[in-house]
Amino acid sequence: MKLSPPERDLSIIVLISIVWTFGLAYVAYILLENIYPDSIISIWNVWDTQHYLDIAQYGYTSSTFDERNLQIVFFPLYPYMIKLFSLIFKNYLLSALLVSNLAYAASVFYLFKLVRLDYESDDAFRSVIYISVFPTAIFLHAGYTESLFLALSIACFYYGRRENWALAGVFGMLAAATRITGIILLPVLVIEYLHQQGFKIKEVRKNILWLAVIALGFAFYLAVNYATFGDPFKFLEIQNQHWNKHLDFPYKGFLYSLGSAFWREPRAGVTAGLAEPIFAVLGLALIIYSFFRIRLSYSLYALATWLLVTSTSFWLSIPRYTLSMFPIFIALSLLGRRRTVNYLIIFISLTLYALLLIQYVRFGWAF
């Protein structure tokens, strides 16, 4: 099958990103650790990836004899996809990385198509490049939910914009079974639907009911909680009791993170301290800017996601969660129309990307 010029260019971006990421990680690990890893992918079996592999291999458990019962806080679709791929490839880590990188490719293509509905090709390509080199975009290639959720949520918006509400509902449902922020797609897509009808209630048709399907993704996760623990909201209890994480005003998380930069050891002071409020503030600034430049439903989605991930007792992984707020990259692409700004964004992003990648594969905290 012959690719169109945009598809060819997007394929090149995907290929370069994958080769650059895995190549740099492998070489950096050898040089800094002075040992050869078991394989080019073994160094990626760190942090939450281990939990997803456990769920894929053994399922969820309510056993109190080990801490695997805490894994109920992880949504089910990604580990179930890993399980499915492992039936073919016979390797759970390889399967996780394949799911993530195929989803990354899908997210790139869908983001380009979504941006092209309103803007020129150059703007769409910049959106793709910016999200691909974002400092925490390393997680688009790792055994995390980032790329799968991104692909599903962007596809949900794309089919909504094309007025294919059935597909929008299905992709939204899958996104809601991948991460808790997926449920935000339901009210935001309703707003997008109404926007397309000129906010005239008399123009609303039965096809809006397809959007209710989105809620089934979250309902499935609640069912998994119930089947495992007999409590559909067990994940909230575990988040609160084990991690002391619960809903709270955003300013509390901001002050805690900022203050922790001064009592943590230097490296953690930067990653778990300063980086959290810096990325949160920059993300919010871009969201506010987006309300004046891009489609209303996109900005509302980004804002609702920002509020959900920052309205907690303490902030953790805000830079990584910012990656899923794809509308900020559309807004950023408009700022990047100026050549100097474009180069500056890419340079800063790639520099931080490389530093975080090296930190991550050495089992250092990188959000």
Chain-wide mean pLDDT for the chain?
A: 97
SS3 at position 334: helix
Q: Please state, in angstroms and rounded to a whole number, the distance separating the CA atoms of residues 229 and 9.
A: 48
Q: What's the one-letter identity of residue 271?
A: T
- Count of C-beta atoms within a 10 Å radius of residue 263: 9
For residue 83, is pLDDT > 90?
yes
- pLDDT, tens only, 9-64: 999 999 999 999 999 999 999 999 999 999 999 999 999 999 999 999 999 999 87
For residue 65, is pLDDT > 80?
no
Q: Taking a C-beta distance cutoff of 8 angstroms, is the pair 217, 176 a contact?
A: yes
Describe the crossing of helices 77-89 and 48-58 by its angle, rounded to 10 degrees: 70
- Structure-model confidence comparison of residues 151 and 267, the more confident one: 151
- pLDDT, tens only, 288-311: 999 999 999 999 999 999 999 999
Question: What is the DSSP secondary structure assignment for residue 91, as one 8-state letter?
Answer: -
R_g over Cα of the chain = 20
Q: Taking a C-beta distance cutoff of 8 angstroms, is the pair 353, 343 a contact?
A: no
Q: Taking a C-beta distance cutoff of 8 angstroms, is the pair 305, 181 a contact?
A: yes
Distances in Å between the Cα of 235 and the Cα atoms of 3, 129, 345 are 44, 35, 38
Structure tokens at 277: 């409020």
Q: Please state, in angstroms and rounded to a whole number, the distance separating the CA atoms of residues 100 and 294.
A: 28
Taking alpha carbons only, the member of 303, 344, 287, 351 closest to residue 137 is 351
* List of residues 6+ apart from 278 with CB closer than 8 A: none
pTM recorded for the entire structure: 0.97
Q: Please state, in angstroms and rounded to a whole number, the distance separating the CA atoms of residues 85 and 223.
A: 23
- pLDDT, tens only, 106-128: 999 999 999 999 999 999 999 99
Q: Taking a C-beta distance cutoff of 8 angstroms, is the pair 180, 163 a contact?
A: no
